[in-house]
Copies of this chain bind each other. A is one copy, B any other.
């Protein structure tokens, strides 16, 4: 992990860009975190629009988390931002567009090709990032996860025992294999669903929520489209993380 820039936000939060091998990332550390008072960590997975475009959203969440005493870290998804494209996924995106434009249902094959290579590559990267982050003296535990592509969060919650709780956003296509993995998830979950999400299959989202093996799971569904998560729903997700990590 190599820090490439740092500056302080007006609330005192230290924002540092870093690279982990070839993967760019950002780390936000509240003033309260130090080697003698290490802070809990939120892994903030970005939406698949590239870190630069997602920055305002991510920075706003990180500032809220810093106010609650959390360190927040994010890394670029495989094939997004300045990272090399994943040709198989690009091909699947093209097929997805064709299907949507033709009004055809999106096949399981397209969904698998779109999501599974991303999950296979992203999850070990998040684990490597977690190794590096937990070696920093100002970061302790526990570790929470919040964000992005729900299949990545699901797989990570299964394979990564250091995760204590996860906020998942039911806003993307879900391969059948991930439904099976969802049954193995046992950590507390808080799932956000935008009821009228134009890019989402509501029944699939509800079925995935049902499939999660966690004894403690909350579905928080609100009106509006993909990017319209209301402020109170974001605050409820924040309270969930505080409840399970402080």
Contact = CB atoms under 8 A, between A and B. Distances in A.
A128 interface: no
A220 B218 contact: yes
Interface of A: 193, 195, 206, 209-210, 214-223, 230, 232-233, 236, 239-240, 243
A240 B220 CA distance: 13
B232 A222 contact: no
A170 to B, nearest CB: 12
Complex copy number for this chain: 2
B210 A216 contact: no
Nearest to A191: B221
Contacts of A217: 222-223
B221 A233 contact: no
Contact of A215 (B193, B223, B240): B223
A68 to B, nearest CB: 16
A219 to B, nearest CB: 4
Nearest to A215: B223
Contact of A206 (B206, B218, B223, B230): B206
Contact of A195 (B210, B239, B243): B210
